[in-house]
Amino acid sequence: MISSFAHCKEQLEDGNLAILPTETVYGLAANGIDPIAVKKIFSLKGRPPTNPVILHVSNIKDACKYTFIDENAEKLAQHFWPGPLTLILKKRDIVPEVATAGLSTVGIRSPSNAVFRKMLTSLSFPLAAPSANPSNRTSPTSASQVLEMFGDLCPPIMDDGPTELGIESTILNLSSKKLSILRPGHISAASIEKCLGVPVSTCIELHEEHSKLKKSPGTSKVHYAPKTPSILHKSVKDCLEYKNITPNDLIIIHSSRDIEKFDRLPCKTIALSKNGNLNEIARSLFGKLHDFDKLHYNQFHLCLNELKDDLAYAINDRIRRACAKNS
């Protein structure tokens, strides 16, 4: 149900769940240092216990209460927080094992959404807030999508309209000597390298659902997936040459400029943006998948973005995982 700020705050203080907007996607929030409250997140989502959650804090000072902040973390927080960058750091004992999947590290970030920040400043604890959806489904970018996915089980929701960015935060592992991005997002490796003056690798992991190796959320092989079977195509050209497209399929491409190329095919084609703008594509991807999932298409056809760009790479990461069941 759509609710008030006061009611959501009361629920969180009582050890219950609330849905809050972030700049990336809507989050299923609970007291991140209360193991019973965190378990409620896992229960409602059907989230495997091997998949850690991220703690959300107001600032670097609060982050120091729950993690061991090093020089790199301090520089990055000063440069990118509040914003869509999660840092994997050694955790302090106050962080419960259920939140970290038993690991000695935890992901932590400071979101920029004004509603979420107001909630953080009004509480005396950090918030664990993974995406507000059943595990491995498309992440919600609006309150209505959350309601549709959870139905009568849905916790109270603070509705702040569509999210600004549309895909989840970049996750950077600072807990080992070599810095690596475990989940790509709007904050690029190049911008992190510029901030720190050290190399940053991109280590995209594809773990099976119950793997015990996950240091980061968002690394399941199948993730962000619609219910509709989804076929992955490496390019627009590959999709055009695919032989098994039926009239009840839906082709999802990145730019409306390419739609005419698909006129000879027997099914509908839609675009994620007018002219291939990557920010528009990122904002619309999950929402389009969610909306068209309700229309009972036989299957989706998703093309990878062919631009050589860090945000295109992050978008392609979500598309690959959305299609992994059928790859």
83 and 192 fall within a common domain: yes
19 and 137 fall within a common domain: yes
In a domain, 252, yes or no: yes
The H or E element spanning position 198 is: none
Question: Which residue pairs from 32-35 have beta carbons closer than 8 angstroms and sit at least 24 positions apart in sequence?
Answer: 32/56, 32/66, 32/95, 32/99, 32/125, 32/126, 32/127, 32/128, 33/66, 33/94, 33/95, 33/96, 33/99, 33/125, 33/126, 34/96, 34/125, 35/96, 35/97, 35/98, 35/99
Neighbours of 134 (CB within 10 A): 14
181 and 242 fall within a common domain: no
Count the domains in the chain: 2
| pLDDT (0 to 100) of residue 215 | 67
Q: Is the pLDDT of residue 236 over 70?
A: yes
Q: What is the mean pLDDT of residues 257-275?
A: 95
41 and 175 fall within a common domain: yes
Q: What is the mean pLDDT of residues 168-187?
A: 95
Percentage of the residues of the chain whose pLDDT score is greater than 70: 94
196 and 53 fall within a common domain: yes
CATH code, domain carrying 251: 3.40.50.11030
CATH code, domain carrying 29: 3.90.870.10
Question: Which residue pairs from 5-13 have beta carbons closer than 8 angstroms and sit at least 24 positions apart in sequence?
Answer: 5/115, 5/118, 5/119, 5/158, 7/156, 8/119, 8/156, 8/157, 8/158, 9/119, 9/122, 9/123, 11/155, 11/156, 12/119, 12/123, 12/127, 13/123
182 and 110 fall within a common domain: yes
51 and 172 fall within a common domain: yes
> CA nearest 183: which of 45, 325, 316?
316
In a domain, 283, yes or no: yes
Return the amino acid letter for 98: V
132 and 172 fall within a common domain: yes
Of 202, 219, 246, which marks where a domain is finished?
A: 202
Of 202, 217, 244, which marks where a domain is finished?
A: 202
Per-residue pLDDT reduced to its tens digit, 18-72: 999 999 999 999 999 999 999 999 999 999 999 999 999 999 999 999 999 999 9
137 and 238 fall within a common domain: no
For the entire predicted model, the pTM comes to 0.93
The span from the first CA to the last CA of the chain, in angstroms, equals: 36
What is the C-alpha radius of gyration for the chain, rounded to an integer number of angstroms?
Answer: 19
Q: Is the pLDDT of residue 205 over 60?
A: no
Report the C-alpha gap between 205 and 189 in whole angstroms.
16
**186 and 165 Cβ atoms separated by less than 8 Å:** yes
**119 and 154 Cβ atoms separated by less than 8 Å:** no
Take residue 99 and report the two structure tokens written for it: 């939140």
Q: Is the pLDDT of residue 1 over 90?
A: no
In a domain, 220, yes or no: no
236 and 155 fall within a common domain: no
- Cis ω for the linkage preceding 184 (within 30 of 0): no
281 and 167 fall within a common domain: no
Give the domain extent around 246: 230-326
In a domain, 130, yes or no: yes
Q: What is the mean pLDDT of residues 143-160?
A: 97
Per-residue pLDDT reduced to its tens digit, 69-109: 999 999 999 999 999 999 999 999 999 999 999 999 999 99
